[in-house]
A and B are shown apart, each in its own frame.
Chain A
Amino acid sequence: MLKTKPAHSLAGLARQKKKRRSKMSSSELPRKEANVLKGHEGAVLAARFNSDGNYCLSCGKDRTIRLWNPHRGIHIKTYKSHGREVRDVHVTPDNSKLCSCGGDRQIFYWDVSTGRVIRKFRGHDGEVNAVKFNEYASVVVSAGYDRSLRAWDCRSHSTEPIQIIDSFLDTVMSVCLTKTEIIGGSVDGTVRSFDIRIGREISDDLGQPVNCISMSNDGNCILASCLDSSIRLLDRSTGELLQEYKGHACKSYKMDCCLTNSDAHVIGGSEDGSIFFWDLVDASVVSKFRAHSSVVTSVSYHPKDNCMITSSVDGSVRVWKT
């Protein structure tokens, strides 16, 4: 099926890439545990690299956000203010601000250095699952249990959302932003991208609840982790299903998936604590190892190096290197 597809898509691109990397790719996968970041009490719900990959942030059930240096394994700072569990965190490209969201239905806009909350955005009628800054760090877009995506203005002092997207039919689990688009993945099985330039909403119905979406680094594809234990790769321009990645268990938890920084492999956690590496093109499991004792909630890949952090319900964040 895939073979017949035109090569305009990522698949073709990746094939080239893969050709380039095939000899070393599997050996370069980060499979060695470099550090264990301990400090969270209870489940860690998300772990994210910052934009240059020197630091990482994690957040969890203990209502804190923690800033780490994953390469040296140092805990730098703790951000406490959330009233309930923190589900997602994102940092601006200039590392000056954080945004986080969680069970307390609020989005917190933090100052990284002082650790103070600059602003709280209230308005979601339910838990907030994911949050992202836009490119200019001027807008925070959050995805909530109330079936909406909301965009919050960081520049003005208004606490009202500047945009509410409520065309989703169910909980929005994940959100991705490009320069011009807002993309949300929802439990209603759709990945909807909202193009601000042309004012169109493009909805790709996958038929399965979408747990997490993640953009490929070239921006042409969307990786959507579905609750039927499969990760789907979608071509963004045409909406066709390029590949499905299976083998892991993902049925009931919010779990992340991502692509390596070379877009050669797809990484996904499993509910049994394993990490799966799939080949992007032929969807074969390249590597698989047990990383955590419990559900892997989040994976984040270093933007440049072969380094990966994973977080788990077991309360640890692990740093993996080649």
Chain B
Amino acid sequence: MDSDEEDYVFFGTPIEREEEITNRRKKAAAEASGNLRALPPWKQEVRDEEGRRRFHGAFTGGFSAGYFNTVGTKEGWAPQSFTSSRKNRAEVKQQSIFNFLDEDEKAELEGTLGTSSQFDTFGFTAAEHARKQADKEQKQRPSAIPGPVPDELVLPASESIGVKLLLKMGWRHGRAINDSRASSLYDARREARKALLAFASEDAKAPCPADEPVEEPESFTVQPSDDDTRSSQSLPAFVCNPKQDLHGLGYDPFKHAPEFREKKRLHLLNDKQRRDRKTMSIKDSLFGSKSGKAAPGFGIGALEEYDAEDEDVYAAGYDFEETCIEDDEEPSRLGIESKQPSRLTIESKQKVVARDQGVLPGFKVASVSDYQLERFDPPVIPKDFVPHHKFPGPLETLKKLDVPSPPEVPPPDDSNLKLLIEGVAKLVARCGKLFEDLSRKKNQSNPLFSFLSGGNGHDYYERRLWEEHQKFGDQANLLLDGKLSPSMQKMTAESRGKLLGEKPLERSSRETTSSSVASGEFQLQFNLSDTFKKPDSFSKLPEVAKPFKDDPAKQERFEQFLKEKYEGGLRSTGYTAASNMSEAARAREKLDFEAAAEAIEKGKRGKESMVSTQPLDFLASGMQFTSGGLEQVENAHAEDLVMKKMYPRREEFQWRPSPVLCKRFDLIDPFMGKPPPAPRVRSKIDSLLFIPDSVKVAKPEEVAITNRDIPAAQTGAQMTNEDVAEQEIEIVAENVERPVDLYKAIFSDDSDDDVEDLNTKKAQDREKKTEVATTALNRLIAGDFLESLGKELGFEVPPDTPYSTNKANDLRMETPNSDSGNAKLSTGTYLNPGNETAQDGDSQKSKSIPVRSGGYNSGKHTVGLLNVSGKVNEDKFAQEDKKVKSPSSRRRNWSSSSSSEDERSRKHSKRHRYRSSDSYSDPSSDDREHYRSRSKGKRERSSREKSSRSRKHSKHHKHRSRDSPSRSHRGSERGHSEARKEKRKRRD
């Protein structure tokens, strides 16, 4: 409005404005001071920097729309100067959807927006093509009008107005009505270009399509899109071909091979030509041959649309040079015919032949059968072919097997020579003929080697060599067979023959031994045993001694068995012959063999002695030798049984129940205390509960101990001893059920204690040192007392009991000794019960020294120790019995000792008591602290101690309960201690 103000002429004083301005100013000042801020948003006003209210809308609308609420502009209003659109009419863009699309969208839409020729089967373009095609087709067909119908005669009806319009708009036949041009400018230019070219083409009748790019001006380099041409090209021909062939409907034999279609057409053509007329144009037929495709060049802008890529390269032979119709028809046809004549004649000849042969009418024999069965004669098998592959060994030893054995010759008298011959023979057998030749050559002059060249001992050498070869061949055979048929022994030639009912061939047993699968070890032994015996001893096995004649394989095994039985001192590892047999079958067979062998032996002996037909009786009586087949069946049956017996099969695995499951089943976790299998966080309880596995470990130990003790104990004590042992086992078992530690684990917070301990430890340590000193002194006194007591009881008491845990370890080491019967006992172990009663009577907190030291040990040892100590006690009693003879006195002794102990430990515990804090950690564990490593294992250990302690308590209850009838004060004591315990529990 300021600008407006300048233009206006004002008369008088603008009072209002003044007011307004002041008002504005005021408001601006108020705004600046933030007074307006206090207003709610809907009461606040928007003002410009001058304080004017502009009443903008949300953004720039509202009151100040436009140019200060006018239609004017900053420059004012002025009409634009006229510019004619004539000059740039072409520039006016026809908006199409393509102008608003991205490239990729265009690509997408290209297909959908245009009329696709694919679906234009009945559309005009297709119809047009069809018409043209039909025209051409008609030319080939025999028509009513003979001769080629001139194109002028068959004129299409005048086009409809729509087509005309389209044509005017630039559309031409064969093209899709598809505005694929992005710009109408391009269209316009193309129109112009076409007009130009049309003129040009009028002059030069048929301009070569190849010239087109050259003719085009530079500005026209924008090629028509491929899509356009393609769509026009790919319009399918809608041809109403009469069905002339005998194929199924829609079947096109040349679908993927249009070349053959052409050929076929040619044949037809030739036939036709031969039959009726010669005027058929091959060119047309060629066009017809391409009827599957849109004929190129028709309906397309003659110049531009024809690209090199449009036509298939294979059709290049017939170019459009030949489109000049009738004139050069003849030569071209002739040309083609000249290419084809020989084949044609051949075919016709074949056809004739085929007709002669009586081929079905409508069929003809294929000239070139692409499926020709070529037959070959089977290869002629040579007469001497043996259907068994012989592996060429590394040496020619195998071949030599067939060599007839040279007669057995006595070895030469000279033992040296004999040895030499044997050695050479062996070497030659092993290394081959070459070695023989070599050595012969080398030792030509040596008279010792004359046997090589037919001198002295040659015969023996020959024989030896043969034997060696024999042996070697066997071995090789074994090897090969082992390699070849590790498990294929099931169906040997023999067994097959037997199945077929053939008579088994009589074979030399020596050659068939190879059927066994031999291990390397066995081979070695085989060889060794071979060297110990005469090689052909078993080939001479009498006919009688072949009890398994009808099962050669079995016979072989039997012979093998015999060999192993009687030959050489080196028996093979076992009866390895039939590794493919089941254990049971093998065992049974072995039994059979044993029996048979025995029978043979007997027979031999019988023959020797009384020359009877004894050997045959086992054959007569023993039907178990007769048929292998029967036995097979039996075997199968047995195996069936075995299979049946296989189920149910029991297996055992480790399985770890989760602690919660154990808890829920009210059972004790067998894996308690063991490290968890998974890195799962385990609750404190799990790690604390430790009873059963220590118990388990202890048990056998205990039993062993009792066993050992019994012989040492006297007859009078034996019973009690055993009783006690049993009872103790009971006790231990009973303890398992007691959930004391579970209770503790739940309600006591050990880990906290440990922390506390750590804190208080240092302070306590100093105390402890003094403590240790005093207790040591105390112990010395007690030791003296014990010594005297021991002497009184007739025991040798070790001079001092170890107080420190190191010594406790020693103690533990000692205990086995004390078990083993000698009376050398540590006071600690001996005094255990006494101390414990003292605890019961006096204070639970105070712990006797040995227990403490025992507590240091791992749970297992603790229990062992405890049990041992208990046992030792009993042992002692037994021995006491020996001395004192009366149980009452023994009890008295014991009670006296324990009461004295009571006194002592009371003193001891008193001292402890004033020292010990009120925390859970009792003095004993305090004392232990500094021997213990301050590791995490602490907690576990303490729990173990606890458990062991509790076990001790209970044990003592048991002891007492046994003893109590005789001692009344004990009962009261027990009540007292029970109360104590309760109290303690509560405190815990």
Tell me which of A134, A203, A204, A207 contacts B665 (CB under 8 A).
A134
Chain A nearest CB from B649 CB (Å) reads: 4
Number of B interface residues at 8 Å Cβ cutoff, please give it: 23
Complex alpha-carbon distance, A206 and B649, angstroms:
7
- A165: chain B residues at CB < 8 Å are 655
- B658: chain A residues at CB < 8 Å are 151, 162-163
Query: Nearest B residue to A165 by beta-carbon distance?
Result: B655
Chain B nearest CB from A149 CB (Å) reads: 11
Known A162-B661, A196-B662, A206-B647; contact A180-B652, beta-carbon cutoff 8 A:
no
> Does the CB pair B650–A204 fall under 8 Å?
yes
> Does the CB pair A241–B648 fall under 8 Å?
yes
Chain B nearest CB from A175 CB (Å) reads: 14
- B662: chain A residues at CB < 8 Å are 196
Digit string of B178-215 for contact with A (CB within 8 Å is 1, else 0)? 00000000000000000000000000000000000000
Query: Nearest B residue to A141 by beta-carbon distance?
Result: B661
> Does the CB pair B664–A134 fall under 8 Å?
yes
- B670: chain A residues at CB < 8 Å are 196-199
Query: Nearest A residue to B659 by beta-carbon distance?
Result: A162
> Does the CB pair A203–B653 fall under 8 Å?
yes
> Does the CB pair B661–A151 fall under 8 Å?
yes
Judge if B667 is at the interface, Cβ distance under 8 Å: yes
Tell me which of A155, A198, A203, A238 contacts B664 (CB under 8 A).
A155
Complex alpha-carbon distance, A234 and B660, angstroms:
30
196-215 of chain A: CB within 8 A of chain B? 196-208
Judge if B684 is at the interface, Cβ distance under 8 Å: no
> Does the CB pair A241–B665 fall under 8 Å?
no
- B145: chain A residues at CB < 8 Å are none
Complex alpha-carbon distance, A156 and B668, angstroms:
19
- A234: chain B residues at CB < 8 Å are 648
Judge if B657 is at the interface, Cβ distance under 8 Å: yes
Judge if B241 is at the interface, Cβ distance under 8 Å: no
> Does the CB pair B655–A201 fall under 8 Å?
yes
Tell me which of B647, B654, B665 contacts A179 (CB under 8 A).
B665
Tell me which of B647, B655, B667, B668 contacts A207 (CB under 8 A).
B647
Chain A nearest CB from B858 CB (Å) reads: 21
Judge if A114 is at the interface, Cβ distance under 8 Å: no
> Does the CB pair A180–B667 fall under 8 Å?
yes
Number of A interface residues at 8 Å Cβ cutoff, please give it: 37
Known A163-B658, A197-B670, A207-B646; contact A202-B651, beta-carbon cutoff 8 A:
yes
> What total count of A-B pairs have CB within 8 Å?
92
> Does the CB pair B667–A197 fall under 8 Å?
yes
- A162: chain B residues at CB < 8 Å are 658, 660-661, 664
> Does the CB pair A136–B666 fall under 8 Å?
yes
> Does the CB pair A199–B651 fall under 8 Å?
no
Judge if B671 is at the interface, Cβ distance under 8 Å: yes
Tell me which of B649, B654, B664 contacts A201 (CB under 8 A).
B654
Judge if B656 is at the interface, Cβ distance under 8 Å: yes
- A79: chain B residues at CB < 8 Å are none
Complex alpha-carbon distance, A114 and B976, angstroms:
51
Query: Nearest B residue to A178 by beta-carbon distance?
Result: B665
Judge if A54 is at the interface, Cβ distance under 8 Å: no
Complex alpha-carbon distance, A207 and B660, angstroms:
33
Tell me which of B649, B652, B661, B668 contacts A163 (CB under 8 A).
B661
> Does the CB pair A196–B657 fall under 8 Å?
yes
Tell me which of B646, B650, B660 contacts A202 (CB under 8 A).
B650
> Does the CB pair A203–B651 fall under 8 Å?
yes
Q: 23 A-B pairs, CB-CB below 8 angstroms? A: A136-B665, A153-B660, A153-B664, A163-B658, A163-B660, A165-B655, A167-B653, A196-B662, A196-B665, A197-B670, A198-B670, A199-B656, A201-B654, A201-B655, A202-B651, A202-B652, A203-B650, A203-B652, A203-B653, A204-B649, A204-B650, A205-B647, A207-B646
Contacts A180-B667, A197-B670, A199-B671 aside, 17 further interface pairs with beta carbons under 8 A come to A135-B665, A136-B666, A139-B661, A139-B664, A151-B658, A151-B661, A163-B657, A163-B661, A179-B665, A194-B655, A196-B665, A199-B657, A201-B653, A207-B649, A208-B647, A238-B650, A239-B648
Q: Closest 9 A-B residue pairs measured CB to CB? A: A239-B650, A201-B655, A199-B670, A207-B647, A205-B649, A162-B660, A201-B653, A138-B664, A139-B664
